[in-house]
Amino acid sequence: MSEYVIDDREMPRFLVNRQAMVDPDVFAAEREQIFDHSWLYVGHETEVPKPNDYKTRTVGGRPVIFARDANGAVRVWINSCPHRGAMLCREPQGNARFLTCFYHGWSFSTGGGLVSIPGEDGYSDSFDRPDLAAPAKVDSYRGFVFVSFDPDIVDLHTYLAGAREYLDLVADQSEVGMQIIDGSHEYSVKANWKLLVENSYDGYHAVSTHQRYFEMMVAAHGKLDTAALSDSIGVDLGNGHAVIVGAPTTGGLFGRPLSEVGQAERTGRFNRFRQRYGDAWVDRMSGSRNMVIFPNLVIIDLVMGVIVRKIDPVTPDYMEVTAWHLAPPDEGPELHRQRLDNFLTFWGPGGLASPDDVEALETCQRSYAAAKELSWSDISRGMNRPVPLGSDELQMRTWWRRWNELITGEGLPTEEHAAADPLYTGRRLDPAELS
Ligand code: FES
Ligand code: FE
C-alpha cells in the first residue's frame, strides 16, 4: 500500500491522502485489516433486557443477531442460516424462543442450537446438526458489548486501554446502571465513513458549522456559555482511541442550560455520587467527553445526554449510521424529557447538528473524487502545543496513526505529551509539568 499519512514533526504537519477516502482498494483493505481484526461494538446489554430478546444489526459488514438466550446470557450470532444461508432473522427486533428460518423451516434456539428440522427423516442418524455461527469472540465492558472476528485478538480489556476509564465515567452516572432508551436514529451519509469518525470529535468545526445553533441559543438565553468549548483538551487513550475532555460543569453547556427542575435533580444525584465516588471522580463525570473507540464507536457525553453512535462503512463513499441514547433510568420525567428532546432536536437526522455535519462531509467527499489537484487533507492543528486543546486535531491524528499501522504495517511516532495526564481533572496543564 502506498503512503496515506504524512507525519512530519519538523514542519510540523500531519497530512492524510484523500485517496484513502475514495479508493476501493483501501476500502477492501479496511474490511480485512481493520474490521476483521478489531473489537467492534454490537450493542448495549440493556437493549436485550429479557431472556430471548433479540435485535438484528450489521457489524463489520456482517448481518448479526444480538440476543439474550433463555438462560440470560448475551449472545451474538451471524444472521445467516447454516443450512443454505438465508437470513434467519428478518425482523429488526423481537422476543422469540426459537429463531426459525423462513426458507426451509430449520429452527434454532437463542442459545444457537439447532432445535428442529422439518422432514428430519431425510437426514441420516449421523448427520451433523449445525449450530448458529458466531463471531470468534464476544465480550462486554460496563454493558457495552463488542465482538471480534479475529480469534487471536487481544482481550477486550486490553484493547480498550485508556478508553475503559472514560466508559467508567459514563457508566457510573446511574445508581442502577445506565440504560439505552428504546429506539434509535438511523441515517446514511454519502461520504466515506472516516469523515464521520473525524467529525465526531472535531471541536474545531463546532462554532462555524453549527453557527445557527449557537445564534439561536444566544437569542434564547442572552449569552453563550462557550467555556466547555474552549476549556477542553484532547487525550490519546492508546490503540487508536482518543477523547476530547471538557472541563467540569454544573450548569449550562454549549448554551443549552438545563431547566431549574432538571438542574436541581441532576445536582442532587451528583451530590449523592460524591459520597460514593469522591469529589475528584464526580468532578470528572460532570465534565464532557467526545470519544472514539477505534475503529467506529463514538461516545458523545455532553451535559444533556450520552449518545452512542456506530458508524458502518458500506462503500468508499457511503456509510450508514446508528445512534442511541444512553440514560440513567432512575431520573425524573423532566430530565428524561429534556434528554430525549436534545437527542432529537440536536443530534437527530433532521436536528440542528447532524444535517449541517452531513452537508459538510458530503461536500468533502465530492471534492475528493473530483479535485485531484488537492491530494492531501491537513489535520496538523495543535501539533505545536504541549497539550493540544479539544479544538485541535490530536484525537484524529491518534486515530489515523492506528489506521496507518493496520493498513500499511507502518507505525508512526506518537504524541507522547498528549497522554501525559490521562486523569484529566479539568485544570489546564502547565506545560512545565509534562517534561
Ligand atoms: Fe434456512 Fe434452508 S436456508 S432452512
Ligand atoms: Fe458537528
ipTM: 0.97
Least confident interval from 42-56, 136-150, 206-220: 206-220
Cα 58 to ligand 1 centroid, rounded to whole Å: 20
Check pLDDT > 90 for residue 132.
Answer: yes
Answer whether 117 contacts ligand 1 (Cβ < 6 A).
no
Other CB atoms within a 10 A radius of the CB of residue 245 amount to 24
For residue 117, which atom of ligand 1 is closest to its CA?
Answer: 4
The ligand with the least distance to the CA atom of 103 is 1
Contact predicate 203/349, CB 8 Å: no
Q: Nearest C-alpha to atom 2 of ligand 1 is from which residue?
A: 104
For residue 104, which atom of ligand 1 is closest to its CA?
Answer: 4
Check pLDDT > 90 for residue 336.
Answer: no
Check pLDDT > 80 for residue 372.
Answer: no
Check pLDDT > 50 for residue 424.
Answer: no
For residue 88, which atom of ligand 1 is closest to its CA?
Answer: 1
The predicted pLDDT at position 189 comes to: 98
The predicted pLDDT at position 279 comes to: 87
Cell 484524529 locates to 396
The ligand with the least distance to the CA atom of 84 is 1
Question: Going edge to edge, which strands form the sheet with 13-17?
Answer: 5-8, 13-17, 376-378
Check pLDDT > 60 for residue 204.
Answer: yes
pLDDT tens per residue, range 301-328: 986 789 999 999 999 999 999 999 999 9
Answer whether 108 contacts ligand 1 (Cβ < 6 A).
no
Answer whether 4 contacts ligand 1 (Cβ < 6 A).
no
C-alpha dihedral over 184, 185, 186, 190, to 10 degrees? -160
Cα 83 to ligand 1 centroid, rounded to whole Å: 5
The ligand with the least distance to the CA atom of 196 is 2
Q: Nearest C-alpha to atom 3 of ligand 1 is from which residue?
A: 84
pLDDT band at 417 (very low <50, low <70, confident <90, very high): very low
Check pLDDT > 80 for residue 419.
Answer: no
- Averaged confidence pLDDT in the chain: 87
Cα 217 to ligand 1 centroid, rounded to whole Å: 55
Question: Can you spell out the DSSP letters for 248-308?
Answer: P-SS-STT-PPPHHHHHHHHHHHHHHHHHH-HHHHHHHTSEEEEEETTTEEEEEETTEEEE
The predicted pLDDT at position 49 comes to: 97
Q: Higher confidence at residue 142 or residue 10?
A: 142
Answer whether 195 contacts ligand 1 (Cβ < 6 A).
no
Cell 469522591 locates to 278
The predicted pLDDT at position 227 comes to: 56
Least confident interval from 34-48, 104-118, 241-255, 285-299: 241-255
pLDDT tens per residue, range 46-97: 999 999 999 999 999 999 999 999 999 999 999 999 999 999 999 999 999 9
Query: What φ, ψ does residue 27 adopt, rounded to 5°?
Result: -60, -45
Residue range 178-197: average pLDDT?
A: 97
The predicted pLDDT at position 259 comes to: 61
Check pLDDT > 70 for residue 221.
Answer: no
For residue 106, which atom of ligand 1 is closest to its CA?
Answer: 4
Residue range 368-387: average pLDDT?
A: 87
The ligand with the least distance to the CA atom of 108 is 1
pTM: 0.92
